């Protein structure tokens, strides 16, 4: 039986001066699961992800990360919006090499799949928003984490890069890495994720894959 790596018990969260956006959330994620969180705009999907990450603190309830109280897992997080000082004096390759334990060949493989090989020597400040998003995504995938949190990871990716993203994540999932992804588009991920959680009306509801209707 796989260990529980994330647990939320009766989590309620409200932004200051506003009613709760999440109420009495109970959720368990096991090691190695590939979980999709989806729902309508404004359903607090990003908020739920940030609570799991410890970036937001719920007013009620508890959040536990890791299968042991004394051993926290390594985590990578790709937010929905990324930003960078345009004067940062480093190339794409330098950033990935400095922040990853992977070999040059492995870095090249990820660059190729994300269509970044031709930009490997480019300064980060010269990249477009979409290219920069792909660099942050590459860094997330190369960091050898135990848990990967992704918030709308296909933002600013072209169709080819989107097609390659979820198979890459599926391969990591098969190696035992836990993946949680917020997305509005279920179609590309249907064949790769292991669980689907609908967030709506302040609650999470697990939906079986065969019951998902995707247009």
3-state secondary structure of 26: strand
pLDDT band at 215 (very low <50, low <70, confident <90, very high): very low
Measured in whole angstroms, how far is the alpha carbon of residue 74 from the centre of its chain? Answer: 13
d(CA 79, CA 171): 21
Measured in whole angstroms, how far is the alpha carbon of residue 84 from the centre of its chain? Answer: 19
Measured in whole angstroms, how far is the alpha carbon of residue 135 from the centre of its chain? Answer: 14
Mean pLDDT of 194-204: 91
* Contact indicator for 146, 161 with CB cutoff of 8 Å: no
Most confident of 10-14, 78-82, 153-157, 172-176: 10-14
Mean pLDDT of 52-78: 85
Per CATH, the number for 1-74+150-155+179-210 is: 3.40.50.300
State the residue for tokens 């260990």.
Answer: 3
Backbone angles phi, psi at 13, to 5 degrees: -140, 140
Mean pLDDT of 181-187: 90
Most confident of 19-28, 83-92, 170-179, 205-214: 19-28
d(CA 28, CA 17): 29
pLDDT tens, residue by residue, 82-136: 766 667 788 999 989 887 778 889 899 989 888 888 999 999 888 887 788 888 8
pLDDT at 8: 96
Going from N- to C-terminal start, the domains of the chain cover 1-74+150-155+179-210, 75-144
- Tell whether the model's pLDDT for residue 185 goes beyond 80: yes
Backbone angles phi, psi at 50, to 5 degrees: -65, -30
């Amino acid at each position: 039986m796989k260990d529980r790596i994330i647990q939320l018990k009766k989590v309620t969260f409200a932004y200051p001066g506003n009613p709760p956006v999440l109420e009495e959330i109970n959720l368990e994620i096991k090691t190695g699961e590939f979980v999709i969180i989806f729902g309508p705009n404004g359903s607090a999907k990003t908020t739920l992800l940030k609570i799991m990450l410890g970036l937001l603190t719920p007013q009620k309830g508890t959040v536990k990360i890791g299968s042991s109280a004394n051993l926290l897992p390594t985590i990578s997080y790709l937010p929905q919006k990324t930003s960078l000082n345009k004067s940062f004096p480093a190339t794409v390759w330098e950033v990935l090499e400095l922040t990853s334990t992977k070999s040059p060949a492995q870095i090249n493989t990820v660059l190729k799949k994300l269509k970044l090989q031709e930009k490997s020597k480019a300064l980060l400040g010269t990249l477009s928003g979409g290219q920069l998003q792909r660099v942050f995504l590459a860094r997330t995938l190369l960091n050898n984490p135990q848990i990967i949190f992704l918030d709308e990871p296909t933002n600013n990716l072209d169709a080819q890069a989107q097609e390659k993203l979820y198979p890459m994540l599926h391969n990591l999932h098969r190696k035992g890495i836990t993946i949680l992804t917020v997305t509005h588009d279920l179609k590309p991920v249907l064949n790769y994720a292991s669980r689907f959680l609908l967030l709506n009306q302040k609650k999470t509801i697990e939906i079986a894959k065969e019951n998902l209707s995707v247009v």
